[in-house]
């Protein structure tokens, strides 16, 4: 994020693909609009799949394009091979085929088969993601093994040498404190960028937007801009986000995950404060991408329950967390009784329901040392057969595990 991946690929296309057919696959409409704007700004003649009617696409209009940007959901309209294939945000593209995969409607199988076909027939395929994991790498390995032998294991993972801009997150203790900070910042005349994972409810985009509109007498789509799934027309305008958000009249942007990918905002120091409300059901990479859409902002960052070392972000809590204070007291009380404190029999046994609850606490950083030890014991016991005696489990193996755990803690 913010390391010019898209710019590097655009430069590659301009320099090396003058006479080649290029297909750029995106996971969302907003990303296709933004990418089209960037490619055209580089002097390329580009077609967007949204430029054509359904009838035109069914009659093969997309196959006549030299440089085409197409969403993964409309890939079934393409049949002819392309020389260069670019898959933007592949982790998100692949995830559209998981779960209920509703975005593909009746074209799920066809889109999947066409995607595999394009990857296998292209002269070069570029997978571009800020958070590349084994999901992408293993997928690529599986595809190239099915192609010609000369392509076997012929792939390369390229990491940018550019270091992400260092950022600082200030952690709020409660949602109410988070909202209070937002209102105070708005009253001070600061320009705000706000993310909440919800659309509706007290914590949703609509509620936050209305609260600020009433407080500041702001007009929507002039002073304050809200984005969620149904705001298609507003999202399409984000191909040139800098002219909208960078306008002096724009005082606030409120969004949920609908623009987690596809928006690049490179203007420096436009927003005074960035607020992010994190919920465990939001993938961490999506949460970071939403908040880091404001790529070059170097002013104050304020967030809620965020773990983001991968993005070169340092978290500064308002004060030491309650869990940390309690753990420190716990350790001080047992300074001379370490073996007793972490003895197998002194750690409460929990069931799968309690384990699930404690895992959530670990995700949002509220788990105490006791909570973590109970989880460690629960997962340790799960490695044994149900008939295994307690004595077999309560061995030096457990003690070694706990000691290693404490070093990490």
- 59 to 41, 107, 180, 314: CA distances (angstroms): 29, 17, 55, 53
CA distance 35 to 86: 11
Write b or e for each residue in 331-367: b if 16 or more Cβ atoms lie within 10 A of its Cβ, otherwise e. eeeeeeeeeebbebeebeebeeeeeeebeebebeeeb
Q: What pLDDT, on the 0 to 100 scale, is given for residue 118?
A: 92
Convert the pLDDT of each residue in 159-177 to its tens digit: 666 666 666 667 777 788 8
Convert the pLDDT of each residue in 125-158 to its tens digit: 898 877 667 777 777 777 765 555 555 456 777 7
pLDDT exceeds 50 at position 311: no
Convert the pLDDT of each residue in 57-88 to its tens digit: 999 999 999 999 998 999 999 999 999 999 98
Q: What pLDDT, on the 0 to 100 scale, is given for residue 161?
A: 63
Q: What pLDDT, on the 0 to 100 scale, is given for residue 190?
A: 92
- 303 to 65, 250, 279: CA distances (angstroms): 44, 21, 11
Q: What pLDDT, on the 0 to 100 scale, is given for residue 53?
A: 93
pLDDT tier for residue 396 given thresholds of 50, 70 and 90: very low
pLDDT exceeds 80 at position 293: no
Q: What pLDDT, on the 0 to 100 scale, is given for residue 178?
A: 84
pLDDT tier for residue 217 given thresholds of 50, 70 and 90: very high
Q: What integer is the mean pLDDT of 106-112?
A: 90
First to last CA, the chain: 29
Which distant-in-sequence residues (6+ apart) come within 8 Å of 91 by Cβ?
129, 131, 132, 133, 135, 136, 285
Look at phi and psi of residue 43 and say left if phi exceeds 0, alpha if psi is from -120 to 50, else beta. left
In this structure, are residues 312 and 232 in contact, taking their beta carbons and an 8 Å threshold? no
Residue 346 tokens, joined: 């002194």
Write b or e for each residue in 275-314: b if 16 or more Cβ atoms lie within 10 A of its Cβ, otherwise e. bbbbeeebebbbbbbbbbbbbebebebbbbbbebeebebe
pLDDT tier for residue 23 given thresholds of 50, 70 and 90: very high
Percentage helix, strand, coil for the chain under 3-state DSSP, each rounded to 5: 50, 15, 35
Lowest mean pLDDT among 187-191, 241-245, 324-328: 324-328
CA distance 85 to 378: 46
> Which is more confident, 212 or 148?
212
pLDDT tier for residue 308 given thresholds of 50, 70 and 90: very low
Per DSSP, 291 falls in state H
Helix (H, G, I), strand (E, B) or coil at 292: coil
Q: What angle do CA 24, 28, 29 make, to 5 degrees?
A: 90
- 151 to 12, 89, 140, 159, 184: CA distances (angstroms): 21, 23, 11, 21, 58
**Which domains does the chain show, CATH number per domain?**
5-151 (3.40.50.300), 167-317 (3.40.50.300), 322-408 (no CATH)
Q: What pLDDT, on the 0 to 100 scale, is given for residue 195?
A: 87
pLDDT exceeds 60 at position 379: yes
pLDDT exceeds 50 at position 265: yes
- Give which of 364, 309, 311, 3 is closest to 158, Cα–Cα: 3
Residue 199 tokens, joined: 């659309």
Q: What pLDDT, on the 0 to 100 scale, is given for residue 30?
A: 63
Our measurement of the distance from residue 251's CA atom to the centroid of its chain's CA atoms, rounded to an integer in Å, reads 25
CA distance 407 to 409: 5
Mean pLDDT over the full length of the chain = 74
């Amino acid at each position: 994020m913010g390391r010019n991946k898209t710019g590097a690929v655009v430069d590659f296309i301009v320099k090396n693909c003058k006479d080649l057919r290029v297909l750029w696959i995106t996971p969302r409409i907003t990303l296709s609009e933004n990418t089209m704007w960037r490619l055209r700004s580089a002097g390329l003649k580009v077609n967007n799949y949204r430029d054509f009617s359904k009838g035109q696409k069914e009659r093969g209009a997309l196959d006549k394009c030299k440089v085409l940007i197409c969403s993964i959901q409309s890939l079934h309209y393409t049949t002819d091979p392309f020389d260069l294939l670019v898959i933007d945000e592949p982790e998100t593209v692949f995830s559209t085929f998981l779960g209920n995969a509703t975005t593909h409607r009746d074209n799920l199988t066809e889109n999947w088969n066409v995607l595999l076909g394009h990857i296998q027939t292209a002269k070069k395929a570029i997978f571009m993601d800020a958070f590349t994991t084994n999901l992408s790498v293993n997928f690529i390995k599986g595809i190239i093994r099915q192609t010609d032998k000369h392509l076997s294991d012929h792939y390369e993972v390229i990491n940018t040498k550019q270091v992400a801009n260092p950022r600082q997150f200030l952690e709020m203790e409660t949602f109410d404190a988070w909202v209070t900070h937002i209102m105070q910042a708005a009253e001070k005349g600061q320009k705000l960028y706000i993310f909440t994972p919800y659309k509706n409810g007290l914590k949703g985009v609509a509620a936050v937007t209305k609260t600020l509109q009433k407080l500041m007498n702001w007009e929507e789509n002039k002073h304050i801009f809200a984005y969620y799934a149904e705001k298609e027309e507003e999202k399409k305008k984000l191909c040139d986000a800098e002219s909208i958000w960078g306008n002096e009249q724009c005082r606030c942007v409120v969004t949920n995950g609908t623009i987690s990918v596809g928006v690049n905002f490179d203007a420096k120091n436009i927003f005074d404060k960035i607020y992010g409300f994190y919920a465990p059901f939001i993938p961490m990479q999506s949460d970071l991408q939403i908040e880091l859409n404001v790529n070059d902002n170097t002013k104050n960052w304020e967030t809620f329950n965020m773990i983001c070392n991968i993005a070169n972000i340092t978290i500064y809590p308002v004060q030491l967390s309650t869990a940390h204070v309690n753990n420190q007291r716990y350790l001080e009380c047992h300074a001379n009784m370490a073996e007793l404190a972490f003895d197998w029999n002194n750690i409460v046994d929990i069931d799968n329901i309690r384990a699930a609850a404690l895992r959530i606490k670990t995700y949002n950083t509220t788990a105490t040392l006791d909570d973590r030890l109970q989880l460690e014991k629960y997962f340790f016991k799960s490695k044994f057969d149900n008939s295994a005696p307690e004595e077999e489990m309560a061995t030096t193996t457990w003690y070694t595990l706990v000691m290693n755990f404490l070093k990490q803690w």
